[in-house]
Chain A
Amino acid sequence: MTTVTIQAGQTHGARGAVADTGGGSRTSASARTSIVALSDVEKVYRTDRIETVALSQISLDVQAGEFVSVMGPSGCGKSTLLNIVGLLDTPSRGRVTINGTPVTDASDRVLARLRNREVGFVFQTFHLVPDLRVIDNVEIPLLYRSMPGSDRRQAARDALERVGLAARMHHFPSQLSGGQQQRVAIARAIVGRPSLLLADEPTGNLDSQMGDEIMGILLDLQQREGTTIVMVTHDQRQADRTERIIRLFDGRLVQ
């Protein structure tokens, strides 16, 4: 494990360090391509009286196949950063590129397509649709692709098998434990084989044993399938298992 912290405004600082890290079947740095590129990103929330700077001068690259942790105290902008990378939020300034596609001024349709094809999200609170069975929840990303229903069903089954929950596919989320719900959320995130998996405190609502299970699944995805993962976490133990740690403080990348 290597901890790399990028100074605000600094770009590409971590690339070399990543190549030096250990970790099974990771791709070499020279062969990797940039999945996420943020350049001078700033996020400011404005109300009538108050202006809050959530992110300032953030520039970073995440390479294909990397597993990156984002750490920092509460309110430092970790989730905001993840939301911008995941195209759920837009920066006030700066440029964002996902897998080579600039998204700063992209239309709703283009953003929707990129979210669908390139990004998979795992949320701290799972965000499963309570009225849908597990398999239907997992199918959600594929609903927005043109594909036969039988293929969609099969892909959802495969994803559930991947996280060890195929036996529960006809349950409703409320019938599952927290760890199982998070595994469903991971299945939903990977079912469309996105190039980038974003996880916002995926173990935050789980006990340490379940947290380890979830972390194991994420590491397995990265190591065996080369999935690029960016994970926000408060848990140093889990962050230490990733290739690179990015630290944020008051909206800035810090040492």
Chain B
Amino acid sequence: MLRNYLLLAWRVLLRRAFFTAVSLFGIAFTIAMLVLVAAMFDHVLVAGAPEVNQDRTLGLYFAEMEGETMARNGFAGYKLVDTYARNLPGVERVALASAPARLTTYHTGVPEKLYLKRTDDEFWNVMQFHFVEGGPYGRADLERGAFVAVINASTRARLFGADATAVGREFEVDGQRFRVIGVVPDVSFLRVVSFADVWVPHTTAKSDAYRAQLIGDFMGLLLMAPDADPRAIQDEFRSRLARIEFPDPQSFNRISAVPESLLQTVARMLFGARGTDADYGNRLLLALAVATMLFMALPAVNLVNLNISRIMERASEVGVRKAFGASSITLVGQFLIENLVLTLVGSALGVACASLGLWLINRSGVIAYAQLGMNLRVVAWGIAFAVVFGVISGVYPAWRMSRLRPVDALKGVSR
């Protein structure tokens, strides 16, 4: 039966080439946009090199302090992570990394901007970089404040030439001179936790003032044990925050910060919900689902209309099928399958267009070191979008058609 349906669907699509082209364009455009967005989210929020441990990493990204008359928020401070986030139950490793600072180097004779991230040695354990040259700095380098640096491949090319080796060579940035000890592949700008052009030990900072900050420009990365309960970690951290002694309680006497997944933090930022402990991750997923449905609604309504005219042209066939034993539900199934064929073909075009779009984005440099691309997960999202789209645009026309009385359908009466 399925073969018969698919054959018929294919021939019907070929018969009305204009209708088919219009339908396919609408479907392809819709799916291409959704797949592009899905690829972006996949790139940012799904574990991937070097953030391969993202699924079991809680990030202490932001904090907010409040007093009676003042409030302050920003990235977590070094002290907040170093003093209060260590030795949490279920946490295997704690890494510290600053937000990337955009600094200038005159190494090549002209000013060039480099993103520099200051980290501790654990950063290289929590992240999984593949070194193309040399290796990372360790505890000893950190403790003695060694001016060593790991750079990415693009920075190596910019500073030392396309085919040069960099390990052992030196460069100056923001008035500090570093010796290259490792080179890693470029990390996309969208990988906000790991991205930088240059990574150096945080102990090379020009001032020690950052060590006393509860709010500053660091993020703490808490690598959980595989069986750890994130809520237990969050509860313990929260209880520690409640015991913080504030240096100036007149100004600030409360602090809120939650170690949570990147998705939850992104959600918190998008909802403007800093300073609360509520989990916004699920709300973001729900909002994305609603937005996706709304985005699909308009082209779906358009396709519904096209489908109704397409199906009603085939009222006689509906009559024949009913006359020979098709029940209404069987006919709904048949026309849904036909619509799914259409939407899957359109979606294949959409995924192809999205691949092209991602390639163009990568090539344009709009997003530094972007490595947006298709993978099985994104394609699976594309298929899921196509199926949802196919069902919502096919159900009503199919239902309406199936309600036709056979005697009317055979006469070609479609309303």
**Bind each other:** yes
Which of A23-31, A113-121, A229-237, A245-253 faces chain B?
A113-121
B4 at interface, CB cutoff 8 A: yes
Cα separation A86 to B322 with both chains bound (whole Å): 11
Interface band, chain B: 20 to 34
- Expressed in whole angstroms, the Cα–Cα distance for A108 and B319 within the complex equals 14
List B contacts of A117 (CB < 8 A): 325
Q: Are A143 and B8 in contact (CB-based, < 8 A)?
A: no
Which residues does chain A contribute within 8 Å of B329, judged by CB atoms? 108-109
Name B325's contact: one of A115, A123, A127, A136 (CB within 8 Å): A115
A119 contacts across to B, CB distance below 8 A: 323
Q: Identify the interface centre among B3, B324, B330, B406: most chain A CB within 10 Å of its CB.
A: B324
* Number of A-B residue pairs at CB separation under 8 A: 77
From residue A42, how far is it (CB to closest CB) to chain B in Å?
16
Partner of B15 from the list A89, A127, A128, A131 (CB cut-off 8 Å) is A131
Complex-state Cα separation, A145 to B330, whole angstroms: 11
Contact of A144 among B7, B316, B325, B410 (CB under 8 A): B325
B323 engages A86 (CB within 8 Å): yes
Q: For the complex, is A140 an interface residue (Cβ under 8 Å from B)? A: yes
Docked-complex contact A112 and B316, CB < 8 angstroms: no
Secondary structure type dominating chain B contacts: helix
Contact A140 B3 (CB under 8 A): no
Complex alpha-carbon distance, A93 and B4, angstroms = 38
Contact between chains at A127 and B8 (CB < 8 Å): no
Q: Which residues of B contact A143 (CB under 8 A)?
A: 1, 4, 326
Q: A127-B319, A143-B1 are in contact. Are A88 and B324 (CB under 8 A)?
A: no
Question: What's the Cα separation between A171 and B1 when bound, in Å?
Answer: 20
B325 and A131 contact, CB distance less than 8 A: no
Set of chain B residues within 8 Å of A128, measured between Cβ atoms: 320
Cα(A175)–Cα(B8), bound, Å: 17
Contact among A115, A131, A132, A149 for B324, CB-based, below 8 A:
A115
Q: Are B407 and A144 in contact (CB under 8 A)?
A: no
User: How many chain A residues have a CB neighbour from B under 8 Å?
Assistant: 31
| Cα-based distance from A136 to B4 in the complex (angstroms) | 7
B1 lies within 8 A of A88 (CB): no
Among the listed B4, B12, B322, B410, which residue makes an inter-chain contact with A112, where contact means beta carbons less than 8 Å apart?
A: B322
Beyond A127-B316, A131-B11, A143-B4, whether A88 also contacts B410 by CB under 8 A is yes
> CA of A86 to CA of B11 in the docked complex: distance in angstroms?
30
Say whether A254 faces chain B, with CB atoms less than 8 Å apart.
Answer: no
Asked if A83 lies at the interface with its beta carbon under 8 angstroms from chain B, I say: yes
In contact, B325 and A112 (Cβ under 8 angstroms): yes
B309-352 contacts to A (CB < 8 Å): 316-317, 319-330
**Residue of B whose beta carbon sits closest to that of A119:** B323
Is the pair B323, A115 in contact by a Cβ cutoff of 8 Å? yes
Cα–Cα distance between A215 and B12 once the two chains are bound (Å): 33
17 contacts between A and B (CB under 8 A): A86-B323, A112-B322, A112-B326, A112-B327, A112-B328, A112-B330, A113-B327, A120-B324, A129-B317, A129-B320, A132-B8, A140-B320, A140-B321, A143-B4, A143-B326, A144-B325, A144-B330
